[in-house]
């Protein structure tokens, strides 16, 4: 049976976050350098976005480059930035044809000028697309995001634009990079590692976590469907009891 047919269209995660891990190990296993792994990960990216859009997911966020990744060898960082530019340019037509809106979060200002220019151009050209929002987390770190959020809210308190009593979850959400996105329902991480790695810490407070041993370059739409099926087989209680959830559904 086609795995896609096993998916309940009424219980699809609105927002899926993906930690695309394993490119280096995949390349090493083939006797190649890490960049070879990054280049061969694009099919996984394309398959995952298309699969998410097809089942009705409204937002998908990919952890493309973390704040810690700047510490990698300069040659690898340079190659990753070049790959980002080429991928955005090459995929723009596909984004338009599939009604994909491109978004980005993180310290975008730290990216090289040519990368920023290409990114902003693609974001602008896809801004009216409505099928799914693809968010690229670039130079992103959740702790940095939270620190920046606290600073911005504090400035408003100091400037009497906001009182301390007004600060609640909604205020905090509205000051995060992801202010225009729903909370994460499902987080997928490939390569067998079982960590969140400073990714969307606030937004994943109640997310279901799905870990797979598959290395990212080998990840395909059927693997994405596996994650969705697993998600749908779990009971999301949000602090309530099973009995309360059952009663609410009736």
Residue 191 lies in a domain: yes
Q: Read off the pLDDT of residues 16-73 as tens digits, 9 standing for 90 and up.
A: 999 999 999 999 999 999 999 999 999 999 999 999 999 999 999 999 999 999 999 9
pLDDT of 243 reads: 59
Over pLDDT 70: what percentage of the chain? 94
User: Which residues are documented as binding site for Mg(2+)?
Assistant: 21, 208
Residue 4 lies in a domain: no
- Judge whether residue 143 has pLDDT over 70: yes
Specify the 3-state DSSP secondary structure of 72: coil
Residue 145 lies in a domain: yes
Model confidence at 193, pLDDT cuts 50, 70, 90, reads: very high
Question: Which residues belong to the active site?
Answer: 21, 69
Q: Which of 178, 180, 184 is nearest to 148 (CA)?
A: 178
The CB-based long-range contact list for 114-119 (8 Å cut-off, 24+ gap) reads 114/81, 114/85, 115/81, 115/84, 115/85, 118/84, 118/85, 118/88, 118/89, 119/84, 119/88
Residue 181 lies in a domain: yes
Residue 185 lies in a domain: yes
- Give the residue numbers spanning the domain of 227: 12-249
Residue 175 lies in a domain: yes
pTM for the structure as a whole:
0.93
* Nearest-5° Cα angle at 227, 224 to 231: 140
Residue 5 lies in a domain: no
Q: Read off the pLDDT of residues 205-240 as tens digits, 9 standing for 90 and up.
A: 999 999 999 999 999 999 999 999 999 999 876 566
Residue 1 lies in a domain: no
- Judge whether residue 247 has pLDDT over 60: no
- Judge whether residue 165 has pLDDT over 90: yes
User: Which residues are documented as binding site?
Assistant: 21-26, 34, 38, 66-68, 70, 72, 189, 195-197, 208
Mean model confidence pLDDT for the chain:
94
């Amino acid at each position: 049976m086609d795995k896609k047919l096993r998916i309940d269209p009424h219980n699809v995660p609105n927002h899926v976050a993906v930690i695309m891990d394993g490119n280096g190990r995949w390349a090493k296993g083939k006797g190649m350098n890490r960049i070879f792994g990054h280049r061969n990960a694009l099919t996984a990216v394309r398959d995952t976005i298309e699969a998410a859009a097809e089942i009705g997911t409204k937002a998908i966020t990919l952890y493309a480059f973390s704040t810690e990744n700047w510490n990698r060898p300069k040659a690898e960082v340079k190659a990753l930035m070049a790959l980002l530019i080429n991928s955005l340019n090459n995929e723009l037509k596909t984004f338009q044809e599939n009604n994909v809106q491109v978004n980005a979060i993180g310290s975008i200002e730290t990216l090289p000028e040519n990368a920023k220019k290409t990114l902003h151009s693609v974001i602008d050209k896809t801004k009216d697309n409505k099928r799914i929002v693809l968010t690229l987390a670039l130079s992103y770190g959740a702790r940095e995001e939270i620190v920046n959020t606290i600073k911005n809210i504090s400035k408003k308190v100091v400037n009497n634009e906001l009182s301390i009593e007004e600060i609640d979850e909604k205020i905090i959400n509205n000051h995060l990079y992801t202010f225009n996105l729903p909370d994460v329902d499902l987080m997928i991480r490939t390569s067998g590692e079982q960590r969140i790695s400073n990714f969307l810490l606030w937004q994943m407070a109640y997310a279901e976590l799905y870990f797979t041993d598959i290395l990212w370059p080998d990840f395909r739409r059927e693997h994405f469907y596996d994650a969705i099926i697993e998600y749908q087989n779990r009971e999301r209680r949000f602090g309530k009891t099973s009995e309360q959830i059952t009663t609410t559904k009736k």
